[in-house]
A and B are shown apart, each in its own frame.
Chain A
Amino acid sequence: MPIVTIDDKTIDVAEGTTILDAAAALGIEIPTLCYLKGYEPSTSCQVCLVKDRKRNLMLPSCATRIVDDMQIDSETEEVHTMRRTSLELLFSDHVGDCLAPCFFACPAHMDIPLMLEQIGEEQVEEAIATVKRDIALPAVLGRVCTKPCEKGCRRKGADGAVAVCELKRFVADTDLTRPEPYTPPCKPDTGKKVAIVGAGPTGLSAAFYLQQEGHHCVLFEKAPLAGGRLRTDTDPDVLPPRVLDAEIQQTLRIGAELHPNCLVENLDDLDIEFDAILLACGQLTEEQSTSWGIKSTKRGIDIDKETLQTSRNRVFAAGSCLRAKSLYVRSVADGKLAAAAMNEFLLGQPITPPVSRFSSRIGALQADEAHQLAEASGHAARSLPTPGSEYSPSQAMAQADRCFSCGCISHGSCKFERIAIQYAADPTRFAGERRAVEVIHRPGGIQFEPHKCIKCELCIQIAARGGESLGLSFVGRGFDVELGVPFDHQIEQGIARTAAACVAACPTGALVFSREHQRMVKLESGNRVNKDAIQ
């Protein structure tokens, strides 16, 4: 029985064992994309490379059998660099957005596609939960936001962006008109207390999220009413005070305390009473911050960008006190970030710096690509409610249906994405000319996006083994090789019997079941469960 060393651990294995299996037996997880147990290793992705130190060779671990005296490196920087490079090369020819561009365009990173999908499904209650996961004041922002999300919307290039902001307002307003508006789930009281100086958009947002984590928040506001610059700098016709009040109320409803007319002159008192302090009071003079014992620059309070902490212990700062006034949505986003950092601090955990989310990105769409996607999405023209009026629910649905659903269906369950995050791959490192985007919807709910295919060969093998009469095959060779169906047939004909297995095996989002199909299946299985329950 051959003996092998992997990362200095030794194991003897049965004749014919692959390095991948031997490593697994030693508890070393080697990533793979194109490998599926039981199928011939295609050795295409080369993400499973390991190094045989003895022979100074990089080997695909999925297909290489152990021979005696191999000395394998798996978790070394050299091997990881190879794996990362392989991922990065694959990304350079993988045309897709893990996350929709609007996700990155929105400073608060709201899950816009999900909200739109929920509106389209008449699930306004779910939609408000989606919105409020990232935006504490949606009814307010729905009126005063400058809508960076719509500038990032892919449909803008076809026939006008999706009316994201108005739809968000529709969701929030609908919620507020209900007798019992949405209340986010709050964790049990942690006994920790947070002082928030300033009840403007940043402070209110921070309080909204800290309360949900079980920390008790007290907002100190120098003005008689909360709202900060939302109240002072906005046109009451655009943002009626009743809307602002109603939305502030949602934060107070979950336990935050508001002390109006309360000017904080020094922090020492607060320091004694509270476990942490958040400065969300807008621009401070340098003098004032110095008197509070907090370092600042000309721009504003100086914070550690990774932890949002000021130079004074237990004091955090966010929003306009860091910089000149910025977008309201930026302030709301800041409040959420501060809440996250402070929560970790209060729980005694190390503060994780805000990270930019991983995503492969298509970049700008060509006009014909955008039109093709528009054809496959809701056909309504972009329309905004006339000032003073609201969308009707059916109008909102039609508008929400205009969404291209740019984010990938496989986002979150995609192996390629998961390993790329694990290896900190940079999807833009080898950017080159990209393939055309073409989303092919086929009967049976099959959605094929050839531009995302990484040529792993799994579906080809599954179709062949599954006895498909047509099957799938590679067409062409080299860089231009594509997945194809013989004789110009459609994809569902190539995988008539094996569609589910092929979709399940696809390591990325090239071959998927469409969202509608997935919903339908869920609905049917739900019905079945209900029927079973009745019987």
Chain B
Amino acid sequence: MGTEISQLELDLEPVEHIVNQVGRKIDSVVPILQAIQQHYRYLPEAALRRVCELTEISPAQITGVSTFYEGFRHRPQGRHLLSVCHGTACHVNGSGMIQDAVEQALNLEPGADTDSDNRFTVVRAACFGCCTLSPVIRIDQETYGHLTAQDIPSTLGDFLQTASRPAFPWESGSDQQKGASRRNLNGDRKRDEIHIGLDSCCVAQGCGKVYGALADVLQATGADVKLKQVGCQTMCHQTPLVEIVPANGPATFYARVKPENARDLVLQHFRPRGVARRVGHWLSRQIDRWHSDEVDSPLQQHRLDMRQGSVCKFLGRQKHIATEHYGRLNGLDIDEYILSGGFQALRTCLTGKEPSAIIDDVRRSGLRGRGGAGFPTYRKWEMMSQQESPVKYIICNGDEGDPGAFMDRMLLESFPYRVIEGMIIAARAVGAHQGFLYIRAEYPAAVRQMSTALERCRKHGLLGERVMDTEFRLDLSIKQGAGAFVCGEETALIHSIEGGRGTPRVRPPYPVESGLWGKPTLINNVETYSLLPWIFRNGADAFAELGTESSRGTKVFALAGKVVRGGLIEVPMGVTVREIVEEIGGGVAPGRRFKAVQIGGPSGGCVPAELADTPVDYESLAAVGAIMGSGGMVVLDDTDCMVDIARFFLRFTQNESCGKCTFCRVGTKRLLDIMDRICTGKGRSGDLKQLEQLSGMVSAGSLCGLGKTAPNPVLSTLRHFREEYEAHLHGRCPAGKCQELIHYEISRDCIGCTLCAQHCPTDAIPFTPYQQHKIVDDKCIRCDTCRTVCPESAVIITSGESPTALSCLS
């Protein structure tokens, strides 16, 4: 009865409109659901029933699909959606405490996800790919990074105060900039420029606000400067990064710029236009001088010398192919892309090379799939080109879901044309005329950039009936995921595009034989496609010269975690883990000990510090129990618990299991049960043996890669850090991470300042001014607040009656 009443109340007109727009076929189900959710903010049952009446979609299908993907809600949602990121980097930087703090700040009832005022609905997110800002939360479109538990109440307040502003102010100005760049292309006049990265993680870091401030100052001063949004500048640890590019002369970089620096920054480099403005400017400078002796110094602090050691080290070992021209191009400016050599490779492939020659070049380049498994790209293409089907499809796998990896998002946002160019080349080589970019829903900016880029390509004759005025025809469109990691598996991805639950199937037949709608289908990863233009412009041999014998070329990594200089790096294969962590990344924080690097995310493993000289190539990494994976690289130090890390990844895969096959659905759950026991001090003597045995069987027996690789983080940590597991069995977490095994205590260094008592959210610390404070263990929720506020480092974490790594510097 209840549903009938709500059906009467609910206005279902929009559903008809959505169906008319999206389509009525079975494969329209995901976009329809997304549109319904966008409209109603959840999926009302009445709306779903209506969809079944209006389309070919059956009740069983819509039920199965809408409950499969994490992105769909079946209950009404609060006014704002607050997602707490639980990616790897966020996890090691305390996302658990952030989650607790959010729930506490909103006073959520146990089990509830929405606060009583219906303002916020809180969800856990797998990874936003903003790893260098960890820990991160996202409220609607706003992302907040580098948070601590204490920041949460003020962050929520800040959000509510500013919630009314438009989401992407800089996007409205894009047309004007387009005109500007056109002038530039025509060589009319070269202008001074200010570059600022507007990738989604840059925005989260505050680049959007800096952009706004700069735009305001430029408007006010009337300076003749082009404010240009560029793609990823790769140095995430320095963002917001502003580059002043004068028409003549060298560029100047400013790192970690704040909106309040905008005025100084502009005035330092550019003269205001008009006499009145100049006089005003001169006057205000004089007044500033009068007030302060060191007017220039605040700005000087932000100035970044590109010849400086740390920058050189960060960039020194890198080789930019997929990320060529990083930080220079406006991702959506097609003219600029063409001007920098874009689509030359495509022209060569369309007019100068037969498909077989293209495939042969790819073979000579030694390119292997960058999605993780490293299958030789040419072999897939060759198998594909041998299929005698009149209809073939090409798919770009942009379902990057590994927590801790964000290379593909960056490539899609910053270099959309490069990805498209690579796809067209591949399509031409294998004879496909229709293709899809499957992009995960957690990457809204990538979807926006890519849709615009595709539209512009169509207008420029780069897609459509005659690509670059040749006989070759190709159409590409976007298919969005809806929150399921398993859809990165190619057969699951195909099911998802077809409108089904994203479950994998047994292979063979491989997608190249029978893929999307039963037709031969080529699926490559974003990075793989984006390497192709370079290869065809510079020659297969130039690419093959880079890297090692078996692993040619470069690989993009997302370097994050406990490293000083996090960011997106592209290195030739074969550099060592140590070079990446210590030279490029600048090592771990002073006083900490580098312990391991987690490579390959939930399918990968840990390379311990002792094996840091392992070269980064497919085979060497596999030999030490890690995998290349898609390129997440999370650095861990002595305060990270390896058992906890293994449990984190296992929990991730267990949660992402599609539930189809026994070994993955139940096996990963039972593995997690054991890991939970170990991390909570309830481990039993036979647990490690059981872990190893069951891990082996889950690997062998699971149907797809997700289950087959799920035990890897456990196996690799058991291999390199067995003593930590054993310590846990004896009730001790050496790193001081596992909450059930640790206690907070206050040492004699306490000066009785009461800060800890004031900040403790559960009143576990009695207020005793000028005396050594004490923590009541039963009340302590291990939120770490006291330790972070203590000015004397007097709060220590003990486990098994001795101090842990978290309370002493090594």
- The reply to whether the CB of B701 lies closer than 8 angstroms to some CB of chain A is yes
- Nearest opposing residue in chain B for A470, CB measure: B59
Stretch of A40-48, A346-354, A360-368, A503-511 with 4 or more beta carbons under 8 angstroms from chain B? A40-48
Given contacts A89-B667, A89-B670, contact A474 B703 (CB under 8 A): no
1/0 contact string of B673-702 vs chain A (CB within 8 Å): 100000000000000000000100100111
Stretch of A57-65, A108-116, A151-159, A287-295 with 4 or more beta carbons under 8 angstroms from chain B? A57-65
Complex formed: what's the CA distance from A86 to B667 in Å? Answer: 8
Stretch of A119-127, A437-445, A483-491 with 4 or more beta carbons under 8 angstroms from chain B? A483-491
Query: Are B701's CB and A43's CB within 8 A?
Result: no
Query: Are B701's CB and A477's CB within 8 A?
Result: no
- Report chain B residues within 8 Å CB of A478: 654-659, 665
- The reply to whether the CB of A473 lies closer than 8 angstroms to some CB of chain B is yes
Given contacts A67-B508, A82-B700, A487-B49, contact A473 B659 (CB under 8 A): no
1/0 contact string of A70-111 vs chain B (CB within 8 Å): 000000000001100110011011000000000000000000
Stretch of B61-69, B110-118, B291-299, B349-357 with 4 or more beta carbons under 8 angstroms from chain A? B61-69
Query: Are A43's CB and B654's CB within 8 A?
Result: no
**Cβ contact of A473, chosen from B61, B658, B663, B673, cutoff 8 A:** B61
- Nearest opposing residue in chain B for A464, CB measure: B60
| Docked complex: A460-474 residues within 8 A CB-CB of B | 460, 463-464, 468-474
Query: Are B666's CB and A93's CB within 8 A?
Result: yes
- Nearest opposing residue in chain A for B2, CB measure: A488
- The reply to whether the CB of A455 lies closer than 8 angstroms to some CB of chain B is yes
Complex formed: what's the CA distance from A454 to B659 in Å? Answer: 11
Query: Are B63's CB and A475's CB within 8 A?
Result: yes
- The reply to whether the CB of A27 lies closer than 8 angstroms to some CB of chain B is no
- The reply to whether the CB of B506 lies closer than 8 angstroms to some CB of chain A is yes
- The reply to whether the CB of B541 lies closer than 8 angstroms to some CB of chain A is no
Query: Are B670's CB and A430's CB within 8 A?
Result: yes
Question: A44 → chain B, closest Cβ, in Å?
Answer: 5
Query: Are B60's CB and A86's CB within 8 A?
Result: no
Query: Are B659's CB and A474's CB within 8 A?
Result: yes
Complex formed: what's the CA distance from A464 to B61 in Å? Answer: 10
Question: B318 → chain A, closest Cβ, in Å?
Answer: 38
- The reply to whether the CB of B569 lies closer than 8 angstroms to some CB of chain A is no
- Report chain A residues within 8 Å CB of B658: 477-478
Query: Are A455's CB and B670's CB within 8 A?
Result: no
Complex formed: what's the CA distance from A479 to B694 in Å? Answer: 17
1/0 contact string of B34-61 vs chain A (CB within 8 Å): 0000000000010011000000001111
Complex formed: what's the CA distance from A474 to B502 in Å? Answer: 12
Query: Are A487's CB and B48's CB within 8 A?
Result: yes
Query: Are B506's CB and A43's CB within 8 A?
Result: yes
- The reply to whether the CB of B661 lies closer than 8 angstroms to some CB of chain A is yes
1/0 contact string of B1-39 vs chain A (CB within 8 Å): 001000000000000000000000000000000000000
**Cβ contact of B661, chosen from A43, A476, A488, cutoff 8 A:** A43
- Report chain A residues within 8 Å CB of B49: 487
- The reply to whether the CB of A49 lies closer than 8 angstroms to some CB of chain B is yes
- Report chain B residues within 8 Å CB of A477: 67-68, 484, 501, 657-659
- The reply to whether the CB of B269 lies closer than 8 angstroms to some CB of chain A is no
| Docked complex: A28-53 residues within 8 A CB-CB of B | 41-47, 49
Chain A residue total in the interface (Cβ 8 A): 49
Query: Are A90's CB and B700's CB within 8 A?
Result: no
Complex formed: what's the CA distance from A64 to B508 in Å? Answer: 7
Question: B576 → chain A, closest Cβ, in Å?
Answer: 30
Query: Are A90's CB and B666's CB within 8 A?
Result: yes
Given contacts A67-B508, A477-B68, A479-B665, contact A455 B659 (CB under 8 A): yes
**Cβ contact of B654, chosen from A67, A470, A479, cutoff 8 A:** A479
Complex formed: what's the CA distance from A128 to B59 in Å? Answer: 51
Complex formed: what's the CA distance from A481 to B45 in Å? Answer: 19
Complex formed: what's the CA distance from A47 to B64 in Å? Answer: 25
- The reply to whether the CB of B278 lies closer than 8 angstroms to some CB of chain A is no
Complex formed: what's the CA distance from A433 to B58 in Å? Answer: 34
| Docked complex: B362-421 residues within 8 A CB-CB of A | none
What is the number of contacts between chain A and chain B, taking CB atoms within 8 Å? 131
Query: Are A85's CB and B60's CB within 8 A?
Result: no
- Report chain A residues within 8 Å CB of B657: 477-479
- The reply to whether the CB of A432 lies closer than 8 angstroms to some CB of chain B is yes
Complex formed: what's the CA distance from A64 to B703 in Å? Answer: 11
- Report chain A residues within 8 Å CB of B61: 473
1/0 contact string of B625-668 vs chain A (CB within 8 Å): 00000000000000000000000000000111111111101111
- Report chain B residues within 8 Å CB of A470: 59-60
Question: B186 → chain A, closest Cβ, in Å?
Answer: 54
Given contacts A67-B508, A477-B501, contact A45 B662 (CB under 8 A): yes
Given contacts A89-B667, A478-B656, contact A486 B62 (CB under 8 A): yes
Question: B457 → chain A, closest Cβ, in Å?
Answer: 35
- Report chain B residues within 8 Å CB of A480: 659
Question: B556 → chain A, closest Cβ, in Å?
Answer: 30
Complex formed: what's the CA distance from A109 to B593 in Å? Answer: 63
Question: A455 → chain B, closest Cβ, in Å?
Answer: 7
Complex formed: what's the CA distance from A484 to B45 in Å? Answer: 15
Question: B703 → chain A, closest Cβ, in Å?
Answer: 6
Question: A476 → chain B, closest Cβ, in Å?
Answer: 5
- The reply to whether the CB of B669 lies closer than 8 angstroms to some CB of chain A is yes
- The reply to whether the CB of B263 lies closer than 8 angstroms to some CB of chain A is no
- Report chain A residues within 8 Å CB of B63: 473, 475, 484, 486-487
- Nearest opposing residue in chain B for A489, CB measure: B59
Given contacts A65-B508, A479-B657, contact A488 B669 (CB under 8 A): no
- The reply to whether the CB of B505 lies closer than 8 angstroms to some CB of chain A is yes
Question: B503 → chain A, closest Cβ, in Å?
Answer: 8
1/0 contact string of B691-724 vs chain A (CB within 8 Å): 0001001001111000000000000000000000
**Cβ contact of B506, chosen from A64, A81, A471, A487, cutoff 8 A:** A64
Question: B672 → chain A, closest Cβ, in Å?
Answer: 9
Question: B1 → chain A, closest Cβ, in Å?
Answer: 11
Question: A258 → chain B, closest Cβ, in Å?
Answer: 54
- Report chain B residues within 8 Å CB of A60: 506, 661, 703
- Nearest opposing residue in chain A for B503, CB measure: A477
Given contacts A463-B60, A481-B659, A488-B3, contact A92 B654 (CB under 8 A): no
Complex formed: what's the CA distance from A270 to B755 in Å? Answer: 94
Query: Are A432's CB and B665's CB within 8 A?
Result: no
Q: Considering residues A43, A479, A480, which has the most beta carbons from chain B within 10 angstroms of its beta carbon?
A: A479
17 A-B contacts (beta carbon < 8 Å)? A42-B660, A43-B506, A46-B702, A64-B506, A64-B508, A463-B60, A468-B60, A471-B58, A473-B60, A473-B61, A474-B68, A478-B656, A478-B659, A480-B659, A487-B3, A487-B49, A487-B59
Other A-B pairs, 19, CB within 8 Å; known A59-B506, A89-B663: A45-B662, A63-B506, A82-B697, A82-B701, A85-B663, A86-B701, A430-B694, A432-B673, A468-B60, A470-B59, A471-B59, A474-B64, A474-B67, A474-B501, A474-B659, A477-B484, A479-B665, A481-B659, A487-B63
Footprint of A on B, CB under 8 Å?
3, 45, 48-49, 58-64, 67-68, 484, 501, 505-506, 508, 654-663, 665-670, 673, 694, 697, 700-703
Q: 10 closest A-B pairs (Cβ-Cβ)?
A: A486-B59, A471-B60, A481-B659, A473-B64, A473-B60, A89-B666, A486-B63, A478-B657, A473-B63, A63-B506
